[in-house]
Amino acid sequence: MGIMRFQNHPIIKEFNGIKKFFRKNETHISRKRMEDLKKFTEVIGESGDTIAFDIMGSVNFGQAIEYSDMDIVYYIKCDNNSIEDCLTEDCGRFKIYKELLINSLIYEYSSQSYPIQIVDCLNLNQVEHDIKIRNFESLALIKFGFYRSVCRGVNRKVLHFYEQLLEEDEELCNVIESSIAECFLGLIHSNSHSYSFKKYMERLEFNGSKIPSSILEKITTYLNK
Span 17-76, pLDDT tens digits: 999 999 999 999 999 999 989 988 998 888 888 899 999 999 999 999 988 989 999 999
Alpha-carbon distance of 22 to 66, in angstroms, equals: 17
pLDDT attached to residue 105: 58
98 band by pLDDT with thresholds 50, 70 and 90: confident
Query: Does residue 155 have a pLDDT over 90?
Result: yes
Alpha-carbon distance of 124 to 93, in angstroms, equals: 13
pLDDT attached to residue 107: 65
| 154 closest CA partner among 57, 48, 34 | 34
How confident is the model over 197-225, as a mean pLDDT? 92
pTM for the model stands at: 0.91
Query: Does residue 220 have a pLDDT over 60?
Result: yes
**Identity of the residue numbered 181:** A
Q: Are strands 116-123 and 52-56 parallel, antiparallel or unpaired?
A: unpaired
pLDDT attached to residue 159: 96
Query: Does residue 163 have a pLDDT over 80?
Result: yes
Q: Phi and psi of 31, rounded to 5°?
A: -65, -40
